[in-house]
Amino acid sequence: MDTKKFNNKVDHNLNLQGELGVLREKIDQIDTEILDLLNERAKKAIKIAKTKIANKMEFYAPDRELKIYERLVNINKGPFPDRAIKPVFKEIISASLSLEKPIHVAYLGPKATFTHLASISHFGQSSNFVQKRNIPEIFSEVERDRVDFGVVPIENSTEGVVSNTLDMFIESNLKICAEILLEISHHLMSKTGKMEDIEKVYSHPHAIAQCRNWLDRNLPNIPIIDVASTALAAKSASDDHSVAAIASEYAASCYDLKIVKRKTEDNINNFTRFLVIGKREPEKSGNDKISIMFSIKDEVGILYRMLEPFAKNNVNLTKIESRPLKKKAWEYMFFLDLEGHISDKNVKKALEELDKKSLFLKVLGSYPRSN
């Protein structure tokens, strides 16, 4: 053995451990300072809660949250990444809100559906989440004040609109308070994690449709079975070794499954938009969107005349969707998303002109856009 080389290696390792020890000690000190500051922030949140209670103010303010994230990103000097600021501070704000008043949120269950993930991403882990079986139940829970808010899917970038949600807005007086954009990744999972053990695949019809090409190529002779949700598929796979599920990574961890294949979706740019529904609209944030619905009779050139006020008043439309009215033949309900806030002069003028031409007009909400 070369004693000199051995001693040099020992000295190097000792020096390395010494340097790491010093850095780790500094990180521990910084973590302690962060914890102290979080507790100071929590004390201020409790004082704010008392002020809100005394003045009967709303606890949840998505417009305020948006401004917090934007300000922090603008002043961030790095190297802490901008993209990490929102999720970190989302949990800080969620924990602070739980000290003021725990927020109760209804979502499309069971646990670990994509609606559940969207709810967590928007409200944070410290909120209380209530799973419901279907979209009408979510609307009902909010309307009856059993929860503060509901989260419902509205559209997917590849599969299109969720008709059930649109139909609920026709009768409901609830308002859209916020929107959530969630990137969707579908994973094939099972109890064993082995492709050769798979005899059936369960998932929600939308998830199956989004993975159809992959399934046809890789599991051409395996039965694909529709179930009510991706989470229910994962739960079924946890009870049967021959069943695989297409679901989220969160579902795999919740139901103790192993990932067989990651990212089985055919389109990598796969997003689902969700809406937060409640009884009150947020304040103007400066980066807002408005959703409306209106009905018309089917006449030649009628849609052009209905959309004319927006072009004339320089209001940008981001989405238009039509639904036939179930109670009246040859009449249609249109759903529009437009940029701006309900208090903007050009928006007000456009809606006033539209109201004169339509059979029915309803503003569903004016809320901060999702970033």
Neighbours of 209 (CB within 10 A): 15
Tokens 């018309």 label which residue? 296
255 close to 234: Cβ distance less than 8 angstroms: yes
Tokens 């003045």 label which residue? 55
101 close to 70: Cβ distance less than 8 angstroms: no
Identified catalytic residue from 272, 294, 310, 335:
272
Give the whole-angstrom CA distance, residue 345 versus residue 262: 48
Give the whole-angstrom CA distance, residue 179 versus residue 173: 17
Burial 121-131 (b: 16+ CB within 10 A, else e): bbbbebbebbb
Angle at 220 between CA 215 and CA 222, to 5 degrees: 90
Decide: helix, strand or coil at residue 364.
strand
Give the whole-angstrom CA distance, residue 334 versus residue 348: 18
List phi, psi (to 5°) of 364: -85, -25
Partners of 363 in the β-ladder:
292
334 is annotated as an active-site residue: no
Partners of 31 in the β-ladder:
none
* Amino acid, single-letter form, for residue 21: G
246: its two tokens: 């297409």
Identified catalytic residue from 114, 274, 294, 334:
274
* Amino acid, single-letter form, for residue 209: A
* Strand arrangement, sheet containing 243-247: 224-226, 200-203, 243-247, 187-190, 258-261
288: its two tokens: 């807002």
260 close to 230: Cβ distance less than 8 angstroms: no
List phi, psi (to 5°) of 243: -100, 135
264 is annotated as an active-site residue: no
162 close to 153: Cβ distance less than 8 angstroms: yes
List, by residue number, the catalytic residues: 272, 274
